[in-house]
Each structure stands twice: as C-alpha cells, then as structure tokens.
Structure 1
C-alpha cells in the first residue's frame, strides 16, 4: 500500500496470517523470492531495502493461493511468478516509470489464464460466506482488507492501523475512499454482496493512499482518482474480468497524465 515502513509491513503480514496461514506463508515465500531475485540480478540496493522488489511478488503469492488450492504446482507458480514480478518491477524502476502494482497484475492475469480450467478454486469461494453483518464500519474495513485479498473485519482493521502507523492522513483518506467506492457502486446498481465484500472499494483505497497529502489540492486528486477507479472497477466486473488492482493502476496513470498536462499548460490547482 505504498508505505515505506517496516512496522507497517509487519502488520500487513500479521493481517494476512490472521486470515490464512497458507496465504501468509505464500506472502513470505514470494517476498523472499522477489528480494533474492533482485539481489542475484544486482539491482540497486537502496531500492531492494525499500521493498520495491517485494511488494508485487507478495501480491502474486497471496493471489495465487487465494484463487487456487495450494497444490505443489501452485507453489511453483508462486516462485516463478515472484521472479517474473520482480523483473517486471525493475523494468519500470529502471525507466523511472510509475509501475505501481502492474507487474503483479500482469503475472497474475497470465497464471489465472493458464490455470483457470486446471486447478480447483481456493479461498476465493469461501469469502462471501464469511462476511459479517452489513454496516458502514465493515464496508470501510473490507476496502482495506481486500487490497491483499483478506475478507475478515479484523484483517481490514489491522491493515488500516498499518497504514495509519506510517501515514495517518493516508489511512483516513482510505476510509473515506472505501465508503465512496461503496456509494458509487450502489448508485450503479451493483450487487450488494459484492459491494459489501469491498470489491468496489479496495482500488479506491489504494488511489486515496497514493494521492493523499496535507494540502487541499491533494484532496482534489484523491477524489478524481477514486471516482475514476470505481467506474473502471464497475466496468471490469460487468465484463467478468479479473479486476485485481488494475483500476487503481489505470486511474493513477490517468491522474498523473492529467497532472502533467495541466503543469505543462501552465495551469496549477491552488493549494
């Protein structure tokens, strides 16, 4: 979630393990694999220490054990996918491009395509049944939890605290974005169970975190990117696509392009 803080990372890992030991183990295996890949290929040590070669592999590991039962070949896919994600991350870093979580998205899309009709579904099939009573509080927490494929209220709270530890304003923006994502998707007549699961909120949370800041203009960019991400999310789910964090990445890219064009045109949103 774009937080360069070791304690935040510990809490993320704790939240994953709280919901699923298997997904927690996959996260550890993936982050170690991605980091070792970066070290073997002699990528920049500062970037390695900052965790830039670990977060996309971690998401790959959690995603694959979320979508598929953890049979041996899935664990092999976690390792291979983590290596690929780290190398793709380097492609963006080397060119100073904002790749965000796109390496994770691309690798996971490929594996989902290859494995979809071969292996049995994993934890994903049980998520809806584990949802608690619907209310605004759980809507907000699921928005945080689903960023790393976790469905419990406790995991969502842990993830919120994890972000709050490093950036309180980013965490609070994330709560507002989670609720706004639910509201917009409700107005678009999306299924209530999907809304409650946080399927229309977690990309909004990521956008809010990415563009959060202390200035009023930061709030404008948060609002723009969040609304855009939710509409992309709605469209992708209506098309029965594997959404992952692509709405966040696409909305962030568009927002950055708009910012660049405004700056190039000599226009600047007042602080």
Structure 2
C-alpha cells in the first residue's frame, strides 16, 4: 500500500506540474486553463511549421523550453500555488518566442534563452514587490526587461547574431501605399493581430488562440477579437 501511495503521489505531482506548465501558456492571455495552454502551444507550433507561417521552427521550440524552464524555476524556488496557476511560466514562454524571433541558432542563444527564462521568475518577484503599493502586479514586464537585455546585448556579441544580418534603414524613395484591401485580406490581418501576442505571424494560429480563449472564457475570446479588429481599423 505504501508503494502504491507513493506512486500515486508522484503521478499526481507530475500531472500537477504538467498542468501548471500548460497554464503558463494560457496565462499570457490571463486564462488559467491547461486546455487553453495546450491549444495555444498547438497554435504556436502550427504558426512556426505550417504553410501560412514564417517557417521559424526554433521559435516554437524556444517557447516550449522557456515555458518549461521558467515553470520549473518557480516551483523550485518560489510559491507552489503560483506555479499551479501557471503564474511562473507566462513570462518564460514569451522570452523563448522573442529570442529566436530575433537571434540566430547558436549554443549561446540557447544559453541566453534558458538563463533569461529562469530569471523572469526572479524579476517577477522583484517587480511585484515594487508594484505592490499600487495594488497591481508586474504582468509581462519581466519578459520585456529580460528580452530587451538579451537582444540589446546581442548586438555587441558575436555569439548572438541576429536572424537577419541586414541593418534596418529608413526608405529613401517613399511612394503612396496601396490601400486597397479585400475582405479576405482584412480577416487574415485581424487574425494575425491575435497570433502576434506570441510573435507568431499566422492567421491559423489566430484561430487556435481564439478557440483556446473561448474554452476558458467566451468573453475573453470576444474582447480579444474585438480589440484586434479595432486596432486594425485604426
């Protein structure tokens, strides 16, 4: 009986960790649901591998590694209750997306991703203490700070090359843009606006995300769809 009990406890612990990890993906959109997180991960992988995406598979794998590392770091050093709600993973997954969206595939880029994802746990705790008197939390601010730290450092480090070697410049010959869009164009841009929350450029991924939100909250899906439409209109 003791062996069965120990085995059962280990299994529950593993399932709790997996659930908390998936919830971390959902918490990027404020949804603490493992099913929402699973659909979001499926959407990211589709957007990175699918025919309508930008064929950047490293972004998907970086997102998965960042999610797992930051969640594990939180469980080891911080609050278990936060981990069970997915609150340690949502910054890490975004760091994972950002690193390989902008940096090339090197060992040091992977090291920066792993270190940066882990450090979002420390940064979140620190920024939450700063924002506590204002009755708010840091949200994704740790992701922003850590990602900018990595990317700005990468410009001066030979082992962290950018994805594209060309330096961005302002265009010299500017012509009037063609503002003729079909309804299908607008729908695609609207859905891509939702997928870009994770730096993924895929309209199918946008559908994945809307379905993922609707599983947890129809209102969340509605407001996400409306907000992307309003931003596109403006």
* Counterparts of 1:88 and 1:97, CA distance in 2: 15
TM-score (norm. length: structure 1): 0.60
- Report Cα offsets for 1:62-91 as digits up to 9, x if no partner: 110111112111100001101111111122
Identify the residue that residue 188 of structure 2 maps to in structure 1.
Answer: 138
**Match in the other structure for 1:244:** none
Answer whether contact 2:91 2:140 (CA < 8 A) is retained.
yes
Contact preservation (8 Å) 2:95, 2:143: yes
- Count of aligned pairs: 176
RMSD of aligned Cα (Å) = 2.1
The 3-state SS of whatever aligns with 1:178 is helix
Counterpart among 145, 149, 163 of residue 106 in structure 1? 145
Give the alignment partner of residue 72 of structure 1, picking from 94, 97, 107. 107
**CA drift at 1:120:** 3.6
Query: Which ranges of structure 1 fall in alignment gaps of 5 or more residues?
Result: 126-132, 185-271
* Aligned-residue offset at 1:28: 1.6
Query: Which residue among 154, 162, 167 is the counterpart of 2:204?
Result: 154
Q: Does 1:33 align with 2:69?
A: yes
Which structure's CA Rg is the greater one? 2
2:217 corresponds to 1:167? yes
For residue 121 of structure 1, the aligned residue among 157, 162, 183 is 162
What per-residue deviation string (whole Å, max 9, x for no partner) do you get for residues 115-147 of structure 1?
Answer: 135444338x9xxxxxxx762211220111100
Q: Tell me the residue number matched to 1:229.
A: none
The 5 A counterparts of 1:11-90 are 11-20=39-48, 21-41=57-77, 43-90=78-125
Give the match for residue 179 of structure 1. Answer: 229
- 2:35 aligns to what? 7
Is there any run of 5+ residues in structure 2 with no aligned partner, and where?
Answer: 1-28, 49-56, 167-181
Q: Is the CA contact (8 Å cut-off) linking 2:154 and 2:162 kept in structure 1? A: no
Higher relative contact order (CA 8 A, sep 6+): 2
Q: Secondary structure at the match of 1:99?
A: coil
